[in-house]
Amino acid sequence: MTAENTATTVELTRFRVLPENTDALLAARPAMLADFRADRAGFLDAVLVRLSGDEWLDIVTWRSPEDFAASRAKGANRPGIEAFFSAIAELVSAEEGTTAP
């Protein structure tokens, strides 16, 4: 299997943000991504999707399930990550999967 065909781990997190916190969430996003790049081994990419109502979906791609697990264990350990997480009112769902080669 070549590197191009290697499956990656995908984190799917759906959450709610109160309307009054939407600007804070979006303002915190660049610093959160910078903190992930600096502190999270195996972080590849993230896409934030606004759904209907006050719900959002964060699609985060990791090199491996181990990298994702290590990131979860760290939690909101950096200011940018903490600011982003603080804007979230409620976790709706969290799933993990792998991309198909």
Contacts of 66 (CB under 8 A, 6+ apart): 42
Q: Is the pLDDT of residue 3 over 80?
A: no
CA 35/CA 54 separation, integer angstroms: 25
Query: Taking Cα atoms as reference points, which of 35, 42, 37, 36 lies closest to residue 62?
Result: 42
Average pLDDT over residues 73-79: 96
Helix, strand, or coil here: 32? helix
Q: What is the mean pLDDT of residues 7-15?
A: 97
Q: What is the pLDDT of residue 79?
A: 97
Mean pLDDT, rounded, for 31-45: 97
Domains of the chain: 7-96 (3.30.70.100)
Instruction: Give CA–CA dist 68/41, Å, rounded.
Output: 9
Query: What is the pLDDT confidence band of residue 101, given thresholds at 50, 70 and 90?
Result: confident
What per-residue confidence (pLDDT) applies to 1?
39
Rounded to two decimals, what is the model's pTM?
0.91
**pLDDT band of 18, cuts 50, 70, 90:** very high
20 pLDDT more than 70: yes
pLDDT tens per residue, range 50-64: 999 999 999 999 999
